[in-house]
Amino acid sequence: VLSGCGVYDGTEIHEASAILVHLSRGGAEVQMYAPDVPQMHVIDHSKGQPAEAESRNVLVESARIARGKIASLAKLTTADHDAVIFPGGFGAAKNLSTFAVDGKDCKVNREVERVLKDFHKAGKPIGLCCISPVLAAKVLSGAEVTVGHEEEEGGKWPYAGTAGAIKELGGKHCVKEVTISFPVNFHVERQFSTHVDTKNKVVTTPAFMCEAELHNIFDGIGAMVKNVLKLTGK
């Protein structure tokens, strides 16, 4: 489920690409969706500032990442899918919810809330990375998620305050790394870089919540995807 195109006002493109690569490697068939709604605003990514005179549509922008193969989120049903995954990017907090503005008092897009509740009720896994775990914390009471660390640690974790917001939303936050830098087997790496809420079948990983090397973020997302696929039982 995408939220636009570009980290500051939509989907984090590197995260979406990493998810797609790992899903492809895992043999999964993928369908992409996005809500057919206006973006909260448009950011000029070269300046990091709002482009006041512009307006864009979340579905239309998400189609850039999907290479045009995308459908309205209203068409997503649990019956047709084994799992659902949400990349991060500020679009999750601006277009899929109002978290960027309202914090713990945020509202979640109606279709996003429906999808999360439907997959949860059906016992089908939900994967989220970066900032998107706030969606599960808001919608699924008591869900266990991670956005990484709970302290900024000199700027390494610039969005560490999100962990406190997750607790205020009613979720449980679990401290995790993006990945670990020394050679280990995948089982150990998976424990460090993802959190698996086995009760709710929610799998999360910090990704760009940390100022980390791209390959570490890619590997952490890979661990999340593998856990999601494992939980499908396929």
Distance, in Å, from the CA atom of 190 to the CA atom of 48, rounded to the nearest integer, reads 33
Report the DSSP pairing between strands 195-197 and 202-205: antiparallel
Which residue among the candidates 5, 106, 129, 130 is catalytic per the annotation?
A: 130
Q: Please give the backbone phi and psi of residue 25, each rounded to the nearest 5 degrees, phi first.
A: -65, -30
Closest by CA position to 73, among listed 162, 11, 121: 11
139 and 115 Cβ atoms separated by less than 8 Å: no
Compute the CA torsion angle 185, 197, 15, 56 (nearest 10 deg): 180
| Annotation says 174 is catalytic | no
Q: Is 50 helix (H, G, I), strand (E, B) or coil?
A: strand
Active site residues: 130
